[in-house]
Amino acid sequence: MSEQDFIPKEYPKTVESGKVGWESPSNIALIKYWGKKKHQIPENPSISFTLTHCKTITSLSYIKKKKEDSEFSFEVYLDNEKKDDFKPKINTLFKRVEIYLPFLKAYEFTIETKNTFPHSSGIASSASGMSALALCLMSIERLFQPEMSDGFFNKKASFLARLGSGSACRSIEGDLIVWGHTDSVKGSTDLFGIKYPYKIHDNFKDYQDTILLVDKGEKQVSSTAGHNLMLNHPFAKERFQQAHYNIKALKPILESGDLSAFIKLIESEALTLHAMMMSSMPYFILMKPNTLEILNKIWLFRQQTGLHISFTLDAGANVHVLYPKNQASQILEFIKSELVAYCQNGHYICDQIGYGAQLIKN
Ligand code: DP6
């Protein structure tokens, strides 16, 4: 498929007003997207687990303008409070997607949104937030084109979400999503996320993700600024190649359920992401001392018990502790007794692998 396939022909129908709603989850990358080209095209392929509990719930009300003008007209509310500082990001999304959704300037929109995770948790809401909004926009487009298939709906929702925030394109469906073209994954594309098309061993069903909130402050480096650091990065070419290689290496691991090999691969990916940031110009250390304490404790506990506890990181200090469901009771006990002390105000979130966004009926 190409971008052109997402530009609609004339709509057979129109609507005056209404309201649609979606809840959409966050996701955590196992193989990281870090570096992008123009138009939100990733420099390398990535793969993520979709989450279940960390999500954004968004409703979008629309009413046809009496006379179409040249402005996007919308208001945004977070937890029932007007949020004008969200407007520039949404305006950018609208500008980028207008050609694919030509009705945008014909309506006045009210966006009401809330997250299930605390606002100041250091968890990025852009993946869940942008995917929820993209899905709402698709629900409106579907009213104009009732013949639209579910397959096309999801692809275009992912395509639009990507234009808001790259990783958001991996939040439409679950449980494992690949985004970015790579020869080892059939159907993979830079334009939108696809469901991982090969066998996944039962060891990875209901995989657990306990998010340790080490630092709940504002991100030191925004992800857009972070991606830009890869533009002139001395190791960029090797890193982008490595991501292709790692996705290929993950395939037999996902099929056989080899948890030890899985752990090696994803921990190395997490540390490589941080190594890229440390070796950028300007350079950043996004881990905090407590992040390192946690990683060392995880390694020691794994060595002592043989349990399959592991971690991944996003572009910040928080730690995602990953483990299989059937080892959850022992590992959760360890997390509570040994790791939570390193979290800011003792805060952590228990999540697990999930199956994608849900339409809110009525
Ligand atoms: C480190 O998707 O937040 O979490 O496209 O600029 O919105 P933008 O970036 P974003 O980047 C996510 C980076 C990451 C790795 C990943 O999720 O793959």
Q: What is the mean pLDDT of residues 157-175?
A: 98
Q: Establish whether residue 33 lines the binding site of ligand 1, counting it when its CB lies within 6 angstroms of any ligand atom.
A: yes
pLDDT at 121: 66
Residue 323 inside a domain? The answer is yes
Give residue 122's pLDDT: 65
Residue-level pLDDT at 120: 65
Where a domain ends, among 179, 198, 217? 198
pLDDT band with cut points at 50, 70 and 90 for residue 68: confident
Same domain as 221, residue 193: no
Which of 145, 170, 198 is the endpoint of a domain?
Answer: 198
What percent of the chain clears pLDDT 70, i.e. is strictly above it? Answer: 99
Same domain, 12 and 61: yes
198, 215, 249 - which closes a domain = 198
Residue 321 has pLDDT above 90, yes or no: yes
Average pLDDT score over residue span 106-115: 97
- Asked if pLDDT for residue 142 goes beyond 80, the answer is yes
Residue 59 forms part of a structural domain: yes
Q: Domain check: are 20 and 161 in the same one?
A: yes
Claim to verify: residue 326 and residue 239 sit in the same structural domain: yes
Position 28 pLDDT exceeds 90: yes
Q: Look at the chain and report how many structural domains it folds into.
A: 2
41 CA to centre of ligand 1 in angstroms: 12
Per-residue pLDDT band at 13 (split at 50, 70, 90): confident
C-alpha distance from residue 204 to each of 139, 174, 217, 258, 319 (Å):
32, 12, 31, 10, 19
**What is the three-class DSSP state of 67?**
coil
> Quick one: 89 and 146 in the same domain?
yes
* Pocket perturbation via mutation, ligand 1, pick of 28, 30, 33 by most ligand atoms within 8 A of CB: 33
Backbone angles phi, psi at 74, to 5 degrees: -160, 155
CA of 30 to the centre of ligand 1 (A): 12
**Atom of ligand 1 at shortest range from CA of 130:** 7
Closest ligand 1 atom to residue 33 Cα is 18
- Shared domain for 168 and 231, answered yes or no, is no
What is the average pLDDT across 127-154?
97
Cα–Cα distances (Å) from 23 to 20, 129, 130, 273, in that order, read 11, 9, 11, 29
CATH number of the domain at 182, please: 3.30.230.10
For residue 303, the enclosing domain spans 206-352
Interval 181-227: pLDDT, tens: 999 999 999 999 999 999 999 999 999 999 999 998 777 888 889 99
Q: Mark whether 236 and 192 lie in a shared domain.
A: no
Query: Tell me, what's the pLDDT at 47?
Result: 98
| Residue range 32-62, pLDDT digits in tens | 999 999 999 999 999 999 999 999 999 999 9
Is pLDDT of 123 > 80? Answer: no
Evaluate if pTM is beyond 0.75.
Answer: yes
Residue 126 beta carbon below 6 angstroms from any ligand 1 atom? yes
Pairing between strand 73-78 and 107-115?
parallel
